[in-house]
Amino acid sequence: MRVLFAGTELFPHVKVGGLADVMAALPKALRALGADVRLLLPGYPALKRVTAPLEPVMALGNLMGGGEARILRGRCPAGLPLYLLDQPAFFHTDEPYAASGELPLRFGALAWAVAHLGRNGDGQGWRPDLVHAHDWPTGLAPAYLALGGEPRPRTVLTIHNLAYQGLFPADLLEPLALPLDAFQPDGVEFYGRIGFLKAGLVYADGLTTVSPTYAREILGPAGLGLEGVLRQRNGRLRGILNGVDETVWNPATDPHLPRLYGPDHPEARSAGKAELQRELGLQEAPGAFLVAIVSRFAAEKGLDLVLEAQPWFAAHQVQLAVLGQGEPELEARFLAAARLHPGQVAVHLGYDEGLSHRMYGGADALLVPSRQEPCGLTQMYALRYGALPIVRATGGLADTVVDATTEAMAAERATGFTFLEPQTAALQGALTRALALFRDHPAAWAGLQRRGMAQDASWRPAAQAYLAFYEQLLG
Contact 374, 209 (CB under 8 A): yes
pLDDT at 126: 97
For residue 27, say if its preceding peptide bond is cis, omega within 30 degrees of 0. no
**Residue 409: partners with Cβ closer than 8 Å, 6 or more residues away:** 444
Q: What is the largest CA-CA distance in the chain?
A: 68
| Chain mean position to CA 205 | 22
From residue 297, give the alpha-carbon distance in Å to each of 256, 331, 367, 431. Answer: 24, 7, 13, 20
Contact 293, 321 (CB under 8 A): yes
**Residue 128: partners with Cβ closer than 8 Å, 6 or more residues away:** 2, 3, 4, 38, 117, 118, 121, 153
Q: Characterize 217-253 residue by residue with b for buried, 16 or more Cβ atoms within 10 angstroms of its Cβ, and e for exposed.
A: bbeeebeeebbebbeeeeebbbbbbbbbbbebbebee
Bridge partner list, 86: 70
Write down how long the chain is. 475
CB atoms within 10 A of CB 283: 12
From residue 360, give the alpha-carbon distance in Å to each of 357, 367, 417. Answer: 5, 11, 16
Contact 193, 170 (CB under 8 A): yes
Q: How does pLDDT run along the chain (475 residues), one tens digit per residue?
A: 999 999 999 999 999 888 999 999 999 999 999 999 999 999 999 999 999 799 999 999 999 999 999 999 999 998 999 999 999 999 999 999 986 678 999 999 999 999 999 999 999 999 999 999 999 999 999 999 999 999 999 999 999 999 999 999 999 999 999 999 999 999 999 999 999 999 999 999 999 999 999 999 999 999 999 999 999 999 999 999 999 999 999 999 999 999 999 998 878 899 999 999 999 999 999 999 999 999 999 999 999 999 999 999 999 999 999 999 999 999 999 999 999 999 999 999 998 999 999 999 999 999 999 999 999 999 999 999 999 999 999 999 999 999 999 999 999 999 999 999 999 999 999 999 999 999 999 999 999 999 999 999 999 999 999 999 999 999 8
Distance CA 372, CA 159 (A): 14
Identify the structural domains of the chain with CATH numbers, from first to last.
2-243+459-474 (3.40.50.2000), 266-454 (3.40.50.2000)
Distance CA 224, CA 163 (A): 7
